[in-house]
Structure 1
Amino acid sequence: MPFTFTRLRRAILSAPMLAVLAAPATALAQASYPNKPIQVIVPLQAGSAADVGTRVVLGKVGENMGASFAIENQPGASGLVGADRIARAAPDGYTLGGITDSVLNYAVNLAARTSFDPLNDFEPVSRMANIAWVLVANNNAAKTVNELVAQAQAQPRKLDYASGGNGSPHHIAMELFSAANKVQLTHVPYKGATQATTDVAGGQVPVMFSAVSVALPMIKDGKLRALAQPADRRSSLLPDVPTFTEVGMPAFNFSTWLGLYAPKGTPKAIIDRLNAEVARALTDPGVRDRLMGLGLDPLGSTPAQLGELTRTGHARIGKVIRDAGIKAE
């Protein structure tokens, strides 16, 4: 058969050639990114550390980029519901997630199974902050952490503690504290940190571990009493609150982090652009002051560093959960 114009055209428009022709269009789309609002899903309650931290950082990122970030809270199953939605979204840079390690490392390790792979279904963009924690009680409960331990030893499982849900960091922190001090408390899981903290302040539940960002307003208002901080040194926000080591308790360090993620397959050019913009936002004095005033330590990373942090944290927390015999309720 003679080599006709039709055959020539078919050869030119073969799959490899089509890929080459499509490349400039893809590059152009990425170069103009973003050209519509970006949806950011926070898989935890409004008012949580993840929520407030994400809003502060991406508020500045949006201002610098001239972009609109629409932040939506979708709590449920300790963050697994919202994380699944992020993982299943189109990888085009227009759906992102403000996710803490409480979701990717804690909740996932406690769940019998999940609909997504925390290590392979997301593209890490950047860490945004580290989150400080504090043990708090209502005004009718123990006045010191030593008093709390004495009460718990005298009445095993009679004292309740609140958490943001099964597998949440509030849950894990208290279980680790209980194991270290050889006491037993009864877990009262809520559907989110905000309601749990509010109920502790209201007297419905005596104690809980809380992110400083959530508890701080109630501590300042006198509705919550801060008993001790699980850190190496006192927070500048709570200078009068001792560390566990300072009150003679077993050394106890506990913190979490907040990161920005995209669905797997999001173009590297978009990931790199977002990473650079987060890094830029974290150098802004106003952003840093707002985060630190909420108990969040402004701290960025490269995408690779966040990926490694996720992997090592997943393995470490999984071992802690197994060794402590912590079970989802």
Structure 2
Amino acid sequence: MVVPLAAGSAVDAAARIVAEKMSRDLGQAIVVENQPGAAGLIGAGTVAKAAPDGYTIGGFNDSIMTMVPNLTARMPWDILRDFTPVSLVATVEWGLVVPADAPAKSAADLIALAKRKPGELNYGSGGNGSPQHIAMALFASQAGVQMRHVPYKGATQAAMGVAGKEVDAAFQGIATVSSLVKAGKLRLIGVTTPKRMPQFPDVPTVSESGLPGFEFNSWFAMMAPAGTPTEITHRLAAEVQHALADPEVREKLAAVGLTPRGSTPEELGAATRAQLAKYGALMKAANITAE
């Protein structure tokens, strides 16, 4: 399973949890291989070029599938043409983080600070077109503030950039930052879910603490190379569903801020097409570009 993101990212955590259970059930070891870089284009390209025999699959986030394709017309592959959907696995729940001793203690504080210092605050992301980039750009657009984008080579590096005070804030998957928050190296000032998360009951939602109506999450989905036989994709999708039904797997996913989902290949295909259109409209409205 090729994960085109850095080790320690939310999707990487989910991939390893689910792959371990699938390996046991299939009697076939699934090796998770991280191939980060270029907002996921490199690792996804490896999957696109692989033999369509079910032995190489991709563990992708929705940035790779539906955000980056809206940023540039010069894509090395086409998400609808060069891949076969397998299954939506989980949604990654997100939070807004700042350095542990930052003055901002809520989304409202960060917005107020950004308005007092237009263009002076910066935020980290896992790269141009990454979910971290899109989430904060949408946040800034809706809040009416200007913040500078600092792209890192991956989500984990961006989280460490916040902890090290290289940047002032970031949106991150809870799975990526939960250990840093619990260790006191980051302050979680808001979550992007509709309601507060059980893991962090004292942390308000961004919507209730500064930007009403703001919500954001991302996907972890499995894709195969185009041309992979239907019987293989449906077998893999069934194994995903079986893994997600396991209480231990569900508990592990929830502990790192992921919500188990599961889907058929057809449902993932329909969701991908809908999300491509949705993010195309949102990114155009917010003037989000690759530059």
Short-chain TM bin: over 0.9
SS of aligned partner of 1:52: helix
8 A contact 1:86–1:97 mirrored in 2:
yes
What amino acid does structure 2 have at the position aligned with 1:225? R
Distance in 2 (alpha carbons) for counterparts of 1:71 and 1:83: 13
Cα deviation 1:226-248 (Å, max 9, x = unaligned): 11112210111111110123224
Distance in 1 (alpha carbons) for counterparts of 2:18 and 2:278: 27
Q: 2:21 — aligned with what?
A: 60
Distance in 2 (alpha carbons) for counterparts of 1:245 and 1:275: 34
Distance in 1 (alpha carbons) for counterparts of 2:153 and 2:228: 31
**Structure 2 counterparts to residues 72-83 of structure 1, below 5 A:** 72-83=33-44
SS of aligned partner of 2:57: strand
Give the drift of 1:112.
3.6
> Of residues 166, 169, 172 in structure 1, which corresponds to 2:128?
166
> Of residues 114, 118, 121 in structure 2, which corresponds to 1:152?
114
Q: 2:7 — aligned with what?
A: 46
> Of residues 236, 241, 248 in structure 2, which corresponds to 1:286?
248
Cα deviation 1:2-35 (Å, max 9, x = unaligned): xxxxxxxxxxxxxxxxxxxxxxxxxxxxxxxxxx
What amino acid does structure 1 have at the position aligned with 2:62? D
8 A contact 2:89–2:220 mirrored in 1:
yes
SS of aligned partner of 1:128: strand
Give the drift of 1:140.
3.4
Q: 2:268 — aligned with what?
A: 306
Cα deviation 1:191-234 (Å, max 9, x = unaligned): 10001101111211110000000011011111111111122101
Task: Indicate whether 1:129 and 2:69 are aligned.
Answer: no
SS of aligned partner of 1:247: coil
Give the drift of 1:51.
0.7
> Of residues 94, 97, 101 in structure 1, which corresponds to 2:55?
94
Distance in 1 (alpha carbons) for counterparts of 2:168 and 2:286: 23
- TM-score, normalising length: structure 2: 0.97
Task: Indicate whether 1:71 and 2:32 are aligned.
Answer: yes
Q: 2:65 — aligned with what?
A: 104
Q: Between Structure 1 and Structure 2, which shows a larger proportion of helix residues?
A: 1
Segments of structure 2 that go 5 or more residues without pairing to the other structure are: none
Q: 1:25 — aligned with what?
A: none
Distance in 1 (alpha carbons) for counterparts of 2:45 and 2:166: 32
Give the drift of 1:252.
0.2
Runs (4 or more) in structure 1 with deviation over 6 Å come to none
Percentage of matched positions with identical amino acids: 48
- TM-score, normalising length: structure 1: 0.86
**Structure 2 counterparts to residues 201-240 of structure 1, below 5 A:** 201-240=163-202
SS of aligned partner of 1:246: coil
Q: Matched residue pairs, number?
A: 290
Cα deviation 1:129-148 (Å, max 9, x = unaligned): 01100000002322222221
What amino acid does structure 2 have at the position aligned with 1:258? F
Which of structures 1 and 2 has the larger relative contact order (alpha carbons within 8 angstroms, sep 6+)?
2
8 A contact 1:162–1:205 mirrored in 2:
yes
Distance in 2 (alpha carbons) for counterparts of 1:157 and 1:82: 33
Segments of structure 1 that go 5 or more residues without pairing to the other structure are: 1-39
Give the drift of 1:307.
0.5
Task: Indicate whether 1:326 and 2:265 are aligned.
Answer: no
What amino acid does structure 2 have at the position aligned with 1:77? A
Structure whose alpha-carbon radius of gyration is higher: 1
